[in-house]
Amino acid sequence: MYVEMFKGDVEIYRHVRVVFTGREGAGKTTACQRLQKKEVDLNIRKPTVGAVLHPNWFSVDKKSKEWIQNDDKSASEILEIRLGITMKKAQTNKKAGLQTGFRESATDLSMTSSQTYDLYEKHFEECNAVQEASQHANMDGVLLSLWDMGGHSSFQASHNVFISSHGVYLLVFRLTDFLKDKLETDRLKKWIRMIGTFSSVELNAPKLKEHEPPLIFVGTFLDELRRISTDYEGQVQAIQSSISKFPELSSHKFVRFCTLDNSQGTEPAQLSSLHVPRTEVQNPRLPSTSRNDDANLKQLRGTIIELAEHQDQWGRKLPTRWLKLEMDLLKARERGTKILTLAKVIEMNETSIAPLADVAEIVLALEYLHCTRSVIYFREFDHVINDPQWLADCFSLLITDDMFLPKDNIVLSRDLELYKTKGELTLKLIDALLSIEKNKEFLPHKPILLALMEKFGLMVRILISESSTGNARFSETYSIPSKLMELQNTDGMITGVNNLELNNLAVSKTLCLIFRDVFVPEELFHRVFATIMKTYRSASLSATHIEDDLRRNLLTTEDTTCLYRGFGCFEVNDLCRMILSMHWERSTIAVTLFSPSESKLPPNSGQLVRTTLERILKDTLQMSSQQHFQFTHKLHCNFHLSPYDTPVELYSVIHAEGGMSCKGGGCRGKHRLKKSDLLFWGITKFTVHLHGLGSSDEATCLDRRPTPQELGRLSYIIKASECEQLFIALGLSLPEISNIEHQTRSLVVVTQITRMFLKWTYAYPNQTFRNIAMAMSKVDIATDSLGESVETGLECVILDDMESNEDRLKRPLLVSEIGSIVDNIDKDYFNLFLELGLSVHDIEKCEVDQPSVKRRVETLIKLWINTSRDQATVIRIVKAMKLCKMDWYSTAMAYCVGDEEETGEWPWWSWWRCAIL
C-alpha cells in the first residue's frame, strides 16, 4: 500500500504557520513560549537574535481544536505521520491512483547490487514507519509551527526572506508603549506593511487563490496597564479602536485583537474582532476576563486554527510524491545537509522510490516548499537552502544590531566602526564573524551565502567603474542598504542643484515612480536601492570624477559624497548624472537627471534611465513574489519631495494648454510641467495609457479579447525567430503557421506575425490578453511590453518636435496629394490600415482585387478617405505611421513645407474633396 499511494494519491495540505512579529521587548518570545505550554521565567529575558523556528511543534485536532505537542518528534517523523494519514485515507477509499512519474522498482536504477540492497532496506524501513504511523494517524489532524522573529530593526531587513502569504501573523506590541511612545504607531504600521506585502486579490500561481494572510494584534503587558490606570479596560478599547482605523489595514481581510498579561505565565488572553472594513471572520462571544489561563489561551489557540484556512497554501492538493521529496530533504537536513545544489536535488529524486516526473515538477515542488518556508528556494538561484533556521542564523550574524557585535576585538575596531556608521561590511569582518567557534559551520558555504544575500538585495558590492570592454568592477566591501547612514537634511543638496541651474546647467524635471498600493514596506525599497548601487556608479553633484583606480579598489561609502540610506547621486554617463531618492512612506521613488558640465542632457538619457529603473523594480518584485504591486508615473518640479509636495498626474500635463502648474508645497505653482518634460523621459500619451495594463486597468485589459489594431501593435514586439514557438503555444498548428508564412511571403515580417495573431483570435474567439501573456512566458518572451498593444487611439500619439507644425497637419488629406504617402508606406500597409480603422475584410478584399502593392495602398487610402470623411486628416495618418514604425517625420515635413508654399486659406477643401470623390 505504501508504494501504491505514490501512484496518484494526494495530501490535502493543512499546516498552520504562526509567525510572531513586532519590535524588540514587546513580549513575542514570552507569548511564543506560552503557546508552547512552556514554563516562563519572567526574570530571565533575552532578545531573539534573527529568528527562532519551532517546526511542527503541535498537532491540532481540527474538530476539538486541542493542541498536542510534537516536540519529541523529528521533522522526518512528522512527515511519516503525514504520509500515514494519506495512506489511511487511501486504504479507506480503497483506491489506486495514476502512475505519472512513478518508478516501479529500484532495480530500474543503474546501481551496484550493494547499492540496490541498501536502497531496498531504506525503503523497507520507511514503509514500516509510515504504516505504523497510519495506525494512529488522526484524519482530522493539523500541524502547527511557530516562528519567533527577532524585533530589532536590523533583523527586519532580512525577515522578508522568511515571511510569505502562508502564515497566521501575530503582531505583538506593548500596550503601555502604544499610549506613551509616539513612534509606536509608526512601528506597528511598518509591520502591517510588511505582512500586507502578501495581501492581494491577485491570483497566486501555485494555488490560484487570493493572498489573505490573517493578522492578530497581541497587546502585551496588560498588567502594567492595570497598575497605571483605573480604567484600563476603556484604554484597551481605545487602543483597539485606534488600530482599527489604520489605513494600512485596508489590504488585510482577517484581523483580530487580543491582550495578554505578562505578570504571570498563565495569565488570560482576551480576544475580540477588530472592526476593519474588509473583516469577514466573526468572533464568537468570549467568556469574561478571568484568571483561568487554560480557557482563555484555548480560545486564542482556537482562533488561530479558525483563521488558518485563509493561509495561502491551505487546502492545496499535493501529490504524495512531493511529500516523498520533502521527506528526503528533511532526512538530508537531519544528517547535517543545510544547503544543496539543484543538481543534487535532481540526483536525489532519481534514486527515490517515487520520483517526480521531470525537472519542471521538481522546481514546482520546491516552490511549494518555499511558499511554506520549509526550504528557501528561488529559480534565479541554483541552490536550495534546506534549513531555514540555519539561514536565519547566518543572516543575523552579518546583518545585525550593534549590541550583538563583538566588543573586545581591537584589531576589528576600524571595520566595526565602518559597519556601525556607514553600513559597510568588510571581508575582514565577515571572516572574523564566521571564524567564531559557534559560527564555523557557515565558513564552507560563505561564497554561496554571500551570493544569496546579494541576490535578495540584503547587501551589495557597489559599482566602481566600467571599462571600455564592458567589464564592470565592484567594491571589495559590501554595503548594507538598510544600515547606510541616513541623510539628515537636504539643504546642501538643494543648494547644489540650485547652483547648477544658476550656471545654466541642465536639470530635468523629476519623474516619480509611485506604487498604486500606498503601503509598500521599506524593505522593498532597500532591495531596489541595492540593485541601483550595483548598476550605477556613485557620484557627486560636481563635475569632478573619482578616477583614482587604486582608491576605488577598496571603495566604501566614506569615499563618496552622495550615498545615504535610500538616497544617492549616481553617474549615468560622462555627461549625465542622476539624483535618486526613496520615499518608502509615500511608496515613491523620485529620480532627477542633471549634467554637471552641459546645458543640455544627452538625447534618450531620460528614457534609458526610466526603463532601467522599471526593469529593476520588476525584477525585484518577481524575486520576492510581490508581482501584484503595480506602479505608475507622475511628474514633479523638484528632485526633493517635501511632505506637502504632490506630484502631478501625467494626464494633466498632457492635456493642459501651456503645461500644468506644479504642486510643490514651497514653490506655489511657479513652475510649469510640459509635454516636453514627459518626452524627455520617453513618456508619450501612448505610454501613459499603456501603463493601464500594468496598473489600474490590468485585470480588465488582460481578461478581454484583443482588437485587430492591438494585435497589430503587439506584432512589433515579437521577433521572427520567436513567432513559431509562440503561436504553437497559443494553439496554432505548424501547417497553419507555414501556410500564413507562404501567403504573406512577399510582405514584411510584422505583417506575417499580425496575420498569425488574426488567425489565432479567429480560431479562439474567447481567448484574451492573458492567454497571450501566458504563451509568451512559456516560450521565454518578456511580457513587459505587452501593454503597448492596449487600445489607446491615435489621439494619444505625440509627434516629437512637431508641436509648432501640428495645426498645419490637422487639415483633410486630399486624394491628389497621396503620392508621397504611398511611397513611404510600401509593403507595411496592412498594419497601417488596421490602425486607421479599416476592417480586415476590406484590406484582404483589396489585396485580391489589386495585385500591385502600390495600387493596393492607393486604393486603401481612398477607401479610408471615403469612409472616415472629416476624420481622414493628414495628422491622423502621420500618427498611424508613427505607431507602425514608418517614416512619419519625412511625410509630416513634406506636408508642412507644402503648406508654407501655399498662399491664402483653404475655403475650397470641402468642395475639392467632394469633387474628387
Least trusted range by pLDDT, from 6-20, 535-549, 681-695: 681-695
Mean pLDDT across the chain, nearest whole number? 79
Instruction: State pLDDT tens for residues 203-247.
Output: 344 444 566 789 999 998 888 898 888 888 899 998 898 888 777
Higher pLDDT, 892 or 443: 443
Query: Minimal CA–CA distance to 552: which of 442, 476, 653?
Result: 476
Three-state secondary structure string covering 680-719: HCCCCHHHHHHCCCCCCCHHHHHCCCCCHHHHHHHHHHCC
Q: What is the pLDDT of residues 756-765, one digit of tens each?
A: 998 887 766 6
Instruction: Please give the average per-residue pLDDT across 646-663, as a whole number.
Output: 80
Q: Say if residue 386's pLDDT is above 90.
A: yes
pLDDT for the residue 278? 39
pLDDT band (50, 70, 90) for residue 851: confident
Q: Which residues contact 447 (CB under 8 A, 6 or more apart)?
A: none
Q: What is the DSSP letter of 11?
A: E
Give Cα 316 to chain centroid, integer Å. 23
Contact 214, 255 (CB under 8 A): yes
Q: Is the pLDDT higher at 22 or at 47?
A: 22
Q: What is the rounded average pLDDT of the residues 543-570?
A: 61
pLDDT higher than threshold 80 for residue 100: no
Answer yes or no: is pLDDT of 569 > 90.
yes
pLDDT at 4: 65
CA separation, residue 70 to residues 77, 89, 127, 303, 874 (Å): 10, 22, 21, 20, 78
Q: pLDDT band for position 249 (50/70/90)? A: confident
The pLDDT of residue 344 is: 95
Which residues fall within 8 angstroms of residue 695, CB to CB, at 6 or more apart? Answer: 516, 630, 631, 632
For 271, the 3-state DSSP assignment is strand
Look at 202 and 606; give whichever has higher pLDDT: 606
Average pLDDT over residues 888-913: 57
Residue 104 has pLDDT above 80, yes or no: no
Q: Check pLDDT > 60 for residue 682.
A: yes
420 or 262, which is more confident? Answer: 420
Q: Can you tell me the distance from the alpha carbon of 350 to that of 355, in angstroms, rounded to the nearest whole number?
A: 6
Model pLDDT, residue 690: 40
- pLDDT higher than threshold 50 for residue 909: no
Q: Which of 359-373, 601-615, 893-907 is predicted least confidently?
A: 893-907
Decide: 589 and 528 in contact? Cβ < 8 Å.
yes
Whether residue 552 is predicted with pLDDT greater than 70 in this model: the reply is no
| Pairwise CA distance, residues 825 & 854, whole Å | 9
List, as one string, the DSSP characters of 849-881: H--SHHHHHHHHHHHHHHHHGGG-BHHHHHHHH
Q: Specify the DSSP element, H or E, that contains 592.
A: strand 588-594
Amino acid at 567: F
Range name among 296-305, 569-578, 673-682 with the lowest pLDDT average: 296-305
What b/e readout covers 319-349, taking b as 16+ CB neighbours within 10 angstroms? Answer: bbbbbbbbbbbbbbbeeeebbbebeebbebb
Q: Which segments of 440-555 are extended strands (E)?
A: 463-466, 472-474, 478-479, 510-515, 537-538
pLDDT at site 415: 92
- Residue with the bigger pLDDT between 260 and 299: it is 260
Reported as a pLDDT band with limits 50, 70 and 90, residue 277 is: very low
pLDDT of residue 598: 92
**Residue 701: band (very low, low, confident or very high) from pLDDT cuts 50, 70, 90:** low
The model's pLDDT over 497-535, given as tens digits with 9 standing for 90+, comes to 888 989 999 999 999 998 875 577 888 899 999 999 999
pLDDT of 917 reads 37
DSSP string for 410-434 = GGGHHHHHHHHHH-EE-HHHHHHHH
pTM of the complete model: 0.67
Among positive and negative, which fits the CA dihedral 640, 641, 642, 648? positive
Q: Reduced to 3 states, what is the DSSP secondary structure of residue 908?
A: coil
3-state secondary structure 641-660: CCCCCCCEEHHHHHHCCCCE
Domains and CATH numbers, the chain: 1-8+11-93+120-266+294-315 (3.40.50.300), 491-543+561-694 (3.30.310.200), 702-791 (1.10.533.10), 805-897 (1.10.533.10)
Question: Mean per-residue pLDDT for 73-102?
Answer: 66
pLDDT confidence band for 286 (50 / 70 / 90): very low
pLDDT surpassing 60 at residue 665? no
pLDDT computed for residue 361 by the predictor:
92
567: which strand partners?
564, 581
- Find out whether 48 and 149 touch, Cβ atoms under 8 Å: yes
Cα angle 812, 818, 824; round to 5:
120
pLDDT higher than threshold 70 for residue 891:
yes
Q: Taking residues 419-438, report their average pLDDT.
A: 92
